Structure 1
Amino acid sequence: MNLSRRGLLLGSASVSLLGTLRYAGAQTPEFNYKYANNLPVSHPMNIRAQEAADKIREETGGRMAIQIFPSNQLGADTDMLSQLRSGGVEFFTLSPLILSTLVPNASISGIGFAFPNDAAVWSAMDGELGRYVRGQIEKSNLVVMDKIWDNGFRQITSSTKPISTPEDLKGFKIRVPVSPLWTSMFSAFGAAPASINFAEVYSALQTKIVDGQENPLAIISTAKLYEVQQYCSITNHMWDGFWFLANRRAWERLPEDIREIVARNINEAGVKEREDVAKLNATLKEELAAKGMKINEPDTAPFRQALKDAGFYAEWKGKYGDEAWAILEKAVGTQLT
């Protein structure tokens, strides 16, 4: 695995290198910005981001260049968020649930078992709920693009047992991202959540610091977590995405015409990435099973009921406030309370 992980890092380094070599001999960019993320180079997000960067450079006549740094090359999520705020990087994609460490109500789109399917997600995130969250993000002095990118519905993996009922989570040592909502939800199930940045997930599973983790199928596959996890339970317990964020000072340095080109291409790439993730997820259950994972699909109704009984939804309704919760209920109904 050390070799394959080293290969992955070398491959990811080539994203920014190729972007540089492709334009060797062209004019020096007037604006040379860095875009950081936490996903492997093979994930649809990095593929579509590179396409967008190429189009931006072409449409600006070489004035604007964006170098991509995938796979946590520039640090863990919390480190990169600090770099974005300080201007060390100009662009960064981040889960709204992790962004909630800075923008508390950003995580409302990830409330447990809220969305029944992708169609409900996009109706909400391209509609009133998305506008509300973007408004909250703007208040924190960051710029956010209009279209949220897809990470997908999250599933639970384990090295010890399938997760078939809420009782299976009691005492279960599970890695969660650094976000209060994740910790709160798995604590409500009686699990033992541990907040670990994504860069350390593989080694934490390999060394049994935790018994399991939860992520969308596309990440389970591209990060090769099937090498250190035996079971995958299709719980769809949370939907997660990536807001494409920009440092405000860096954004305002760009002339208006370049801003329009950048925003348009990034938003178009985000919509294409959503389609890519949907297609990938349609085949991944079979592919992961072929790689040795045991797949099970539990009934999720008892999980939602367990959260209700534990007071999880009532607690978070109080934290988000009546306005935000009402906007969520417009999108998903009142089944959470």
Structure 2
Amino acid sequence: MSINRRSVLLGASAGLLAAPFIRPGAARAAEFTYKLANNQPMEHPSNVRGGEAVKAILEETGGRMDIQIFPSNQLGADTDVLSQLRAGGVEFFLLSPLILSTLVPNASINGIGFAFPDYDAVWKAMDGELGAYARGQIENAGLVVMDKIWDNGFRQITSSTRPIVTPADLEGFKIRVPVSPLWTSMFTAFGSAPTSINFAEVYPALQTGVVDGQENPLAIIKVAKMWEVQKYISLTNHMWDGFWMLGNRRAWAALPEDIQEVVAKHFNAAAENQRADIMALNASLRSELEGQGFAINEVDPAPFEAKLREAGFYAEWKKTYGEEAWAKLEGAVGRELA
């Protein structure tokens, strides 16, 4: 490739931003024009459903509220946009709680390795007490957060060198991880060599061999065309990750109550629809990715969880999060982790 994948994604997304379902035109100038940033490519369900939501918000508010979507890290890397959100340069941001943990440490508790066995356990936790706890932590940090978390999915490991079948396969493995202490801690416990890289730079890092592999949900692996720079997918399901819809507190307070209600209603409905989209997408992605040349293998999670326990990973994070948060996590998954 003569240009890197990031340039392709950004260029394509910039051209598509004018599409009606992403930024619908208003008959008159909007009273409020806000930005919504995220790191997903345009075709990801988050932007499809987000586009539907902002269109519905524009229509239901009679053109008073116009939200413009900026996908694919167009406004900067995740950590940069989080700073913009806090300063008011961006009004809404769809962000992983694990990356949000750089500001709100306990927001990342949903990402504890191998905690959730399936989606039933995830939604019971995140629509229940654990999610309410996380939202309280986020609000205490000065941000607004919607009630429903969006789905990023269970994360899988890809590699250019070898399939990951046992914990031993991760020893010395150069893996890209997001900018989050939890990820670094988990892969360090496996004896890997984790490197924190913002998502916008993942493709070139894999392409140039800076790292041997990365980990992401299947939907992200697909839309980022990881098969161009990776050979293997190991279905580790090592952590579940989502996206909180975050808002700048001052910008939110500036909205009349009736517009706040419309925005919250449609963003939360979009989250529910996006979850269903990801579920349906996951059902078909395995064969599609195999068709692109990926070798895919199943993984027994038990030895990986045992390795983390032996390395003191769970005990360390129980201490970090505190008894209250850890009790809510174990209550949600129905078993003791540490």
> How far did residue 267 of structure 1 move?
0.2
2:138 equivalent in structure 1:
137
Contact 1:12 1:40 in 2 (8 A): yes
Q: Which amino acid aligns with 1:229?
A: Q
Count of matched residue pairs: 337
1:262 equivalent in structure 2:
263
Q: Which amino acid aligns with 1:223?
A: A
Does residue 1:107 correspond to 2:108, yes or no? yes
Question: Is the alpha carbon distance of 1:174 and 1:20 closer, same or farther for their aligned partners in structure 2, counting shifts above 3 Å?
Answer: closer
> How far did residue 211 of structure 1 move?
0.1
Contact 1:15 1:69 in 2 (8 A): no
1:210 equivalent in structure 2:
211
**CA deviation string 1:187-223 (max 9, x = no partner):** 0000000000000000000000000000000000001
Aligned residue for 2:155, secondary structure, equals: strand
Give the distance between the partners of 1:275 and 1:146, measured in 2 at CA. Answer: 17
> How far did residue 336 of structure 1 move?
1.5
Question: Is the alpha carbon distance of 1:49 and 1:321 closer, same or farther for their aligned partners in structure 2, counting shifts above 3 Å?
Answer: same
TM-score (norm 2): 0.97
Q: Which amino acid aligns with 1:129?
A: L
Q: Which amino acid aligns with 1:100?
A: S
2:41 equivalent in structure 1:
40
Does residue 1:190 correspond to 2:191, yes or no? yes
1:308 equivalent in structure 2:
309
2:74 equivalent in structure 1:
73
Question: Is the alpha carbon distance of 1:294 and 1:256 closer, same or farther for their aligned partners in structure 2, counting shifts above 3 Å?
Answer: same
Aligned residue for 2:19, secondary structure, equals: helix
Question: Is the alpha carbon distance of 1:268 and 1:334 closer, same or farther for their aligned partners in structure 2, counting shifts above 3 Å?
Answer: same
Question: Is the alpha carbon distance of 1:136 and 1:21 closer, same or farther for their aligned partners in structure 2, counting shifts above 3 Å?
Answer: closer
2:282 equivalent in structure 1:
281
Does residue 1:293 correspond to 2:288, yes or no? no
Contact 1:150 1:240 in 2 (8 A): yes
2:171 equivalent in structure 1:
170
Contact 2:93 2:247 in 1 (8 A): yes
2:319 equivalent in structure 1:
318
**CA deviation string 1:112-157 (max 9, x = no partner):** 0000001110010000000000000000100000000000000000
Question: Is the alpha carbon distance of 1:57 and 1:314 closer, same or farther for their aligned partners in structure 2, counting shifts above 3 Å?
Answer: same
Gaps of 5+ in 1: none
2:126 equivalent in structure 1:
125
Does residue 1:237 correspond to 2:238, yes or no? yes
Gaps of 5+ in 2: none
Q: Which amino acid aligns with 2:41?
A: P
- The within-5 A match list for 1:245-256 is 245-256=246-257
**CA deviation string 1:43-65 (max 9, x = no partner):** 00000000000000000000000
Aligned residue for 1:164, secondary structure, equals: coil
**CA deviation string 1:22-47 (max 9, x = no partner):** 75461100000000000100000000
Give the distance between the partners of 1:57 and 1:205, measured in 2 at CA. Answer: 40
Q: Which amino acid aligns with 1:124?
A: A
> How far did residue 18 of structure 1 move?
2.5
Identical residues among aligned pairs (%): 69
> How far did residue 3 of structure 1 move?
7.9
Alignment RMSD (CA, Å): 1.4
Q: Which amino acid aligns with 1:180?
A: P
Give the distance between the partners of 2:228 and 2:31, measured in 1 at CA. Answer: 44
> How far did residue 21 of structure 1 move?
9.6
Give the distance between the partners of 2:116 and 2:81, measured in 1 at CA. Answer: 29
Contact 1:40 1:46 in 2 (8 A): yes
Q: Which amino acid aligns with 1:238?
A: M
> How far did residue 305 of structure 1 move?
0.1
Give the distance between the partners of 2:194 and 2:305, measured in 1 at CA. Answer: 18
Does residue 1:153 correspond to 2:157, yes or no? no
Does residue 1:82 correspond to 2:83, yes or no? yes
Question: Is the alpha carbon distance of 1:191 and 1:25 closer, same or farther for their aligned partners in structure 2, counting shifts above 3 Å?
Answer: closer
Contact 1:96 1:106 in 2 (8 A): yes
Question: Is the alpha carbon distance of 1:3 and 1:168 closer, same or farther for their aligned partners in structure 2, counting shifts above 3 Å?
Answer: closer
Q: Which amino acid aligns with 2:243?
A: F
Give the distance between the partners of 2:87 and 2:252, measured in 1 at CA. Answer: 13
Question: Is the alpha carbon distance of 1:240 and 1:30 closer, same or farther for their aligned partners in structure 2, counting shifts above 3 Å?
Answer: same
Question: Is the alpha carbon distance of 1:308 and 1:20 closer, same or farther for their aligned partners in structure 2, counting shifts above 3 Å?
Answer: closer
Contact 1:156 1:233 in 2 (8 A): yes
1:227 equivalent in structure 2:
228
Question: Is the alpha carbon distance of 1:95 and 1:74 closer, same or farther for their aligned partners in structure 2, counting shifts above 3 Å?
Answer: same
Question: Is the alpha carbon distance of 1:25 and 1:328 closer, same or farther for their aligned partners in structure 2, counting shifts above 3 Å?
Answer: closer
> How far did residue 183 of structure 1 move?
0.1
1:28 equivalent in structure 2:
29
Question: Is the alpha carbon distance of 1:22 and 1:275 closer, same or farther for their aligned partners in structure 2, counting shifts above 3 Å?
Answer: closer
Question: Is the alpha carbon distance of 1:118 and 1:175 closer, same or farther for their aligned partners in structure 2, counting shifts above 3 Å?
Answer: same
Give the distance between the partners of 1:285 and 1:73, measured in 2 at CA. Answer: 29
> How far did residue 13 of structure 1 move?
1.6
Aligned residue for 2:335, secondary structure, equals: coil
Q: Which amino acid aligns with 1:303?
A: F
Give the distance between the partners of 2:140 and 2:16, measured in 1 at CA. Answer: 32
> How far did residue 10 of structure 1 move?
3.1
